[in-house]
Structure 1
Amino acid sequence: MGRKLARTLQLGILFSVVLFGYTVFSDQEFAKWQTNFRYYAQQHGIKDATLDTAFRGLLIDKKVLKLDTYQPEFSRPVWEYMDSAVSPERVEQGRYVLKQYAPLLKRISDIYHVDIEYIVAIWGMESSYGQQLGNYSAIRSLATLAYQGREERRNFWRTQLVAALRILQSGDMPSNNLRGSWAGALGHTQFIPSTFEEFAVDFDGDGKRDLRASIPDALASTANYLAQSGWQQGQPWGTEVVLPVTFDWMETEPANWQSLNYWSAQGMYRVDGTALEDSPTLRAAVIIPAGYRGPAFLTYPNFNVLLKYNNAISYALAAGYLAERLKGGLEVQAAWPRNEEPLSRLEKAELQERLSAVGYSTDGVDGTIGPNTRAALRRWQADTGFPADGYATLEHLKLLREQTALPRMLEAGS
């Protein structure tokens, strides 16, 4: 019984030390970290008074640490993301917002040359038009992450914490307004502190840039961000297209920019049946976010600007479609492959490992289907007889399991 009790106590201690994927440190260690951070912050222009105000009674936010280490087993399919992001309710509310803030939006658009529907779409995507601003203390969240978050990201969080302290020190946003997402994003359109410093503007003329308390500041700052990122007013983000039956799936890559004339010459046209513009200079890329069985989209330079706001294909696609729906445009016309089961993160890692094992290197195994993995998958698909769309499915993984099982069986029998 004594050994069992000792083992139970050991397990209890271990569970308290390694909890939810992060290491739990003592209050003394956090105090030591704060002392070291104060010196670092002072070297970057933060005054003692600001640090005293920000760090008074500061405690670690364990909920933030759980969210930082949480990685969902299954990624959300793009069609589920679109269903939520461009829901009928969000479209209806967005059209109301367009009318409610029409004079303000016109003034912002006239100054920054960004289409009002895209400003409103990002507002809807980021905070449901101000209904979900988030209530985490940015200082507490960023201090927690800089001290005890994932090690490879701590320098990033430390930089964001210093930026948040500069915002506080400047008087732009008081501490009670420095609240937002668990990761420190602020205001109606969720700027991280370093983005705030670079792009936030005082549009209401009160001498402060407050993205939580001032809707004019938040929307104008968003327009400024898009404008500085290369937004082309009056140009669409892209369009849904129909691909010819002879289309080379290797061409479906976000980085494969070609002229509209190039795509037209291959027999591509808009989903409504109309031809693409006759343009030898306007460049576009074809994406198929659900593989060859799903819709295809021709994306223009403004799509890349949306990606700068949030570097996820599903986000940029949803923001573009929400803006188009606010204008009265159509929903996605082609059917999504809704019966397709998404791969889990572990299954994606297994797919990477097995691709590499059969001679199609993915340059690492991380459970994320990035450009290197898509390129390797395309080569394997082409050699195996699948459409080379770079979209990973359970069918692919099952075949790769069969392909990699044979050598192992032979090795075991030798």
Structure 2
Amino acid sequence: MMKKLQGWVVATGAAVVLSWSPLASSADEADFPAYVDKIKAEARAAGYTEDTLNRAFAGVKFYKKSVEADKNQPEFKLTLDTYLPRAVPEWKADKAVEMYAKHRDLLDKIGAEYGVQPRFIVALWGIETNFGSYTGGFDVISALTTMAFEGRREEFFKKQLWHALTIVQENHIDVEQMQGSWAGAMGQTQFMPSSFMQYAVDYDGDGRKDIWGSMGDVFASAANYLKSVGWQDDVTWGRQVQIPGDFDESLAGLNTKKTLAEWQALGIRRMDGNDLPNRSDLEASVVIPDDKQGRVYLAYANYDALMRWNRSHYFVAAVGYLSDRIRFPR
């Protein structure tokens, strides 16, 4: 069965997935300056300083590309087997091993402090922004203001805009360097502003939570996010498995947890046909992203944690696969 992916805004790093509606917005670009004045008045009433507002909105502009990207996201068909080579080509797997070696001392230190295996930090970094080489070229304040003005999800994007103004007011990043995606996901971790406020870390101790340029802040922020949503450093993310032809698909899904012994009794085996690990303390779910003829995974607790980062089985599979390539380089 082919998997149909359509009509989603995925604000990665924020664990936010927003479905979109085909209804056109009634917003007229000519009204954007008046909307900016309205937003500034609301922000002023909420306690943001005049200096913050002057800095944040000095170069604010309407991003037609943001509105178009939101409305016209492509509809396409994929299976996990065709998606993974695109998300994790050989050059990216090689680059992940290289970047892990380059930053190993810092990664190992942060991994030990937060209880997160460093290979997963690198894998997220690689999938999100190609190891920091592409973080988006949109001014975050402008992108968020545009999306709020567009109107279909005004309250969500206004909330993100207030958080972004707090980031400016607390001087974590210069406004000119506050770049991100067309939907406002920021920095090398692609955090939405709300996730920045909740999970970003000033690891290097310079008084700024700099997920754009400080590698300590970038890695520690990613690790802090994972730790906060239940990461376990004594297990991996999951494993690809074989299921019997008569497997009851009603048992699939993250809401169903069974011990490995229980899954073993239901006929599930490793990909090589051998028994599952003999761990009585470990529970897992069966995940079937496409259908029983496609890839099937036993998903451990860390799979659930990665789903909090981005609610896409394809995203989690890509991060997990890349982390495995770091662990077992070819």
CA contact (8 A) 2:116 2:233 kept: yes
> What amino acid sits opposite 2:293 in the alignment?
R
Matched, 1:104 2:106: yes
Q: Does 1:85 align with 2:87?
A: yes
The answer to which structure, 1 or 2, has the higher relative contact order (CA under 8 A, 6+ apart) is 2
Cα deviation for residue 280 of structure 1 reads 4.1
- Residue 218 of structure 1 is matched in structure 2 by 218
Residue 40 of structure 1 and its aligned partner are, at CA, apart by 2.4
Question: Paired residue for 2:183?
Answer: 183
Identity of paired residues, percent?
34
Partner of 1:71: 73
Tell me by how many angstroms 1:56 deviates: 2.3
Residues 80 and 295 of structure 2 are in contact (CA less than 8 Å); yes or no, is this contact kept in structure 1? no
Q: Shift of the alpha carbon at 1:190?
A: 0.6
Q: Where do 1:130-141 residues align within 5 Å? A: 130-141=132-143
- SS in structure 1 of the partner of residue 323 of structure 2: helix
1:33-72 matched pairs, under 5 angstroms: 33-72=35-74
Q: Distance in 1 between matches of 2:71 and 2:113?
A: 41
Gaps of 5+ in 2: 1-22
Q: Structure 2: how far apart are the matches of 1:223 and 1:301?
A: 15
Name the larger-Rg structure.
1
The residue number in structure 1 matching 2:123 is 121
The one-character-per-residue Cα deviations of 1:67-109 (angstroms, maximum 9, x if unpaired) are 1111323244333321122211110000000110011101111
Paired residues for 1:239-254 under 5 Å: 239-254=239-254
Tell me, in whole angstroms, the C-alpha distance in 2 between the residues paired with 1:244 and 1:57: 59
Counterpart in 2 of 1:370?
A: none
Structure-1 residue corresponding to 2:286: 286
- Corresponding residue for 1:173? 173
Q: Secondary structure at the match of 1:223?
A: helix
Once residues 301 and 251 of structure 2 are traced to their aligned partners in structure 1, the CA distance between those partners, rounded to angstroms, is 17
Aligned to 2:4: none
Distance 2:320 2:209 in 1: 27
Runs of 4+ in structure 1 off by over 3 angstroms are 20-24, 278-281
- Kept in 1, the 8 Å contact 2:287–2:298? The answer is yes
Looking at secondary structure, tell me which structure has more strand per residue: 2
* 1-structure distance, mates of 2:184, 2:194: 10
Q: Secondary structure at the residue paired with 2:68?
A: helix
Note the C-alpha offset of 1:180: 1.3
Q: Which residue is equivalent to 1:302?
A: 302
Question: Residue 271 of structure 1 aligns to which amino acid in structure 2?
Answer: M
Distance in 2 between the 1:57 and 1:141 partners?
12
1:57 Cα deviation from its structure 2 partner: 4.3
| Distance in structure 2 (CA, Å) of the matches to 1:66 and 1:104 | 40
The aligned amino acid for 2:289 is P
- Equivalent pair of 2:120/2:323 in contact (CA under 8 Å): yes
What is the Cα deviation at residue 179 of structure 1? 0.2
Count of paired positions? 308
Equivalent pair of 1:22/1:65 in contact (CA under 8 Å): no
Superposed, which structure 2 residues align to 1:192-231 within 5 Å? 192-231=192-231
Which residue of structure 2 lines up, in the alignment, with residue 235 of structure 1? Answer: 235
CA distance in 1, matches of 2:273, 2:111: 32
Match of 1:25 in 2: 28
Q: Distance in 1 between matches of 2:264 and 2:93?
A: 32
Code of the residue aligned with 2:239 in structure 1: it is T
C-alpha separation in 2, matches of 1:134 and 1:183: 10
State whether residues 43 and 162 of structure 2, in contact with CA within 8 Å, keep that contact through their aligned partners in structure 1: yes
Distance verdict in 2 for CA 1:315–1:187, change over 3 Å: same
What is the aligned-residue RMSD (CA, Å)? 1.8
SS in 1 for 2:298: strand
Give the secondary structure class of the aligned counterpart of 1:134: coil
Distance in 2 of aligned mates of 1:173 and 1:193: 12
Q: What amino acid sits opposite 1:242 in the alignment?
A: Q
Once the two structures are TM-superposed, the CA of residue 134 in structure 1 deviates from its matched residue by: 1.2
Distance verdict in 2 for CA 1:23–1:325, change over 3 Å: same
Quick one: distance in 2 between partners of 1:225 and 1:140? 26
**Matches of 1:285 and 1:230, distance apart in 2:** 16
- Does the Cα contact within 8 Å between 1:177 and 1:213 map onto a contact in 2? no
Match of 2:177, SS state, is: coil
Distance 2:59 2:283 in 1: 54
Match of 2:8 in 1: none
1:240-266 deviation digits (Å, cap 9, x = unpaired): 111123322222223222221210111
**What SS does the aligned partner of 1:23 have?**
coil
Secondary structure, aligned partner of 1:232? coil
Q: Which runs of 5+ in 1 are unaligned?
A: 1-19, 331-414
Q: Which residue of 2 aligns with 1:265?
A: 265
